[in-house]
Amino acid sequence: MGSVFRDNVTQLRVALKQHPTVIIGAGRKGRSIAADLLERHDEKAVIVEQQAGHKSSAELRRAGHLVIKGDAAFKETLKSAGALKARQLICFARDQTVGVQVAGQLRELWRKKAGDGGEHCDCHVHLDNPRLVDLFRSHGNARDEAVRVHFFNLHKMMARSLFQRLPQELAPALQRGEVRKLRVDLIGFTNPGQAILLQGLRVLHLGLAQGVAWHVWVDASQGTPGSARQALLARHPLADEVADIRFHSVDAQYRALLDAQAGEAEGTLSLVICALPSDEASLTAAAEILHATPSGDFRVFALCEDASGLAALLTGPGQANQASQRLKLFGNLEEFCTVEMICGAQQDRLAQAIHADYLQLTQGTAGESDAYKTAWEALDEDARDANRAQADHLPYKLMLVGGSVANIDEQALEFLAAIEHQRWAAHRYLNGWRYGPERDDERRLHPSLVPWAELSEGEREKDRDAVRRMAQLQSLGKGVL
């Protein structure tokens, strides 16, 4: 009886609420963005949760949010949550296809809404498959659509954030000039782990004599090394053109990993990234590796989505031992599940600025595909990723020249231009392009997919120009990098 009364009161309060933010899902991600909405924007959300009696519902109600029970894939549930008045809807559905269904139902509801008065609703949906993003985005956000659908990928956002931190971790060793090879051991081939591998293949281009070697350690619950490799190549059949990628079975004490790492030649810089299915599993793996290598100096990164209190515990007074200094946490949802990150596309600001700069430079010129010459909103995910990769690699280039473009002499210009070509080629390979004597966008063939030494002087000059524009890109990135 009490719950019926509470639900009726909730419905009344929703009816009285003007332009609410509606969040689908009361899980960890939904709670994080609700907390951010309240703390930074002084707004209480309407939250739709399908599971009756979800453990977070009481906590959310105590904070002042309104919780509606029901399946958001149904129009009646959305209407009861105030979606017809919503300023924005953010969907963290457990099944990503449900998120797409929610966006479709919301759009249908608004189309039937009498008299729009120029109002609109921004619908943000978590979707991590770039092909599905392009498929649904191809239907377009027409100018007259009241519901504008945007897709975001938390796994990609997390991976990009991790690799934005790496230049400062790698700088001391790389700037001494003693490193010939970088070895990355990735433990776990979960969705976050796959995003980490892809982002690493996009940006870890450092001009090392022996390049970057990836060793992916697959837990039995995630399949076999063979099935993991097949999963990678199914989406990115030319990934092996980018780097040396090997898959292995993981053992409980990580002996095979540690033995292989110890057998590396002098001049190898190592780092370990733990991205297992749970925070506990990632932290346990990191602890095992740190315990087994008390004299090691390589960094161990552990995925920890709920890091509340952990960072302070590990870095507080009395924790300045070598192991705690080597352990680095990443992936805290509080950093990504914010209104600004998801709805304001904060992480893409530099990429958008780079694309706008590119459009201005190429206005009236031929050569690049028309797919890259449209406004950001109309770009497909591959083209957006091209701009993101260029933006995300800028800190690496700066790190390689001591942090300042003023240090780029002729020798450094040639060095960075060769790296820029390698980075550009990596993006093309990851998106299915291969070498062809003539460019063919339909068949994804490009004549410049050759080593730097075989590149024509005209094509090399394009890479040099990209390096020369680093100061301009750096100024575009002020407040973003």
Consecutive H or E run containing 273: strand 268-274
CATH number (domain holding residue 358):
1.10.490
Shared domain for 324 and 369, answered yes or no, is no
Q: How far apart are CA 200 and CA 465, in angstroms?
A: 24
Separation of CA 481 from chain center: 15
CB burial class (10 A; 0-12, 13-18, 19+) of residue 310? Answer: middle
Task: Please check whether residue 337 lies inside any domain of the structure.
Answer: no
Return the C-alpha torsion angle 31, 34, 39, 45, nearest 10: -150
At 377 the pLDDT is 84
Task: Please check whether residue 259 lies inside any domain of the structure.
Answer: yes
- CA angle 287-290-294, nearest 5°? 145
At 314 the pLDDT is 63
Task: Please check whether residue 481 lies inside any domain of the structure.
Answer: no
8 Å CB contact between 337 and 29: yes
Q: Report pLDDT digits (tens) over 449-475.
A: 999 999 999 999 999 999 999 988 878
At 279 the pLDDT is 95
At 321 the pLDDT is 64
Q: Report pLDDT digits (tens) over 175-211.
A: 888 999 999 999 999 999 999 999 999 999 999 999 9
Q: Characterize 155-180 residue by residue with b for buried, 16 or more Cβ atoms within 10 angstroms of its Cβ, and e for exposed.
A: bbbbbbbbbbebbeebbeebeeeebe
Total number of domains constituting the chain: 3
Shared domain for 148 and 160, answered yes or no, is no
Shared domain for 303 and 357, answered yes or no, is no
Shared domain for 127 and 139, answered yes or no, is yes
Shared domain for 139 and 250, answered yes or no, is no
| Owning domain of residue 184 | 156-331
Residue 215 DSSP SS3: strand
Shared domain for 106 and 173, answered yes or no, is no
Residue 294 DSSP SS3: coil
Task: Please check whether residue 342 lies inside any domain of the structure.
Answer: no
Please tell me the total number of residues recorded for the chain in this structure: 481
Q: Which of 152, 184, 212 is the last residue of a domain?
A: 152
CATH number (domain holding residue 15):
3.40.50.720
Question: Phi and psi for 216 in degrees, rounded to 5?
Answer: -100, 125
Q: Which amino acid is at 384?
A: R
Shared domain for 435 and 410, answered yes or no, is yes
Q: Which amino acid is at 401?
A: V
Question: Phi and psi for 149 in degrees, rounded to 5?
Answer: -100, 130
User: Hey, what are 124's tokens?
Assistant: 């943000």
Q: Which of 331, 366, 384 is the last residue of a domain?
A: 331
Q: Which amino acid is at 266?
A: E
Shared domain for 186 and 293, answered yes or no, is yes
Task: Please check whether residue 462 lies inside any domain of the structure.
Answer: yes
Q: Which amino acid is at 279?
A: D
Q: Which of 116, 137, 152 is the last residue of a domain?
A: 152
Separation of CA 13 from chain center: 36
Q: How far apart are CA 374 and CA 91, in angstroms?
A: 28
Shared domain for 17 and 146, answered yes or no, is yes
Shared domain for 233 and 319, answered yes or no, is yes
Question: Phi and psi for 380 in degrees, rounded to 5?
Answer: -75, 175
> Which residues of the chain have a pLDDT value below 70?
1-2, 52, 114-117, 138-144, 308-322, 364-371, 477-481
Shared domain for 187 and 262, answered yes or no, is yes
Task: Please check whether residue 13 lies inside any domain of the structure.
Answer: yes
Task: Please check whether residue 73 lies inside any domain of the structure.
Answer: yes
Q: How far apart are CA 416 and CA 397, in angstroms?
A: 7
Residues 6+ apart with CB under 8 A from 97: none
Task: Please check whether residue 343 lies inside any domain of the structure.
Answer: no
First-last CA distance in the chain: 54
Shared domain for 313 and 392, answered yes or no, is no
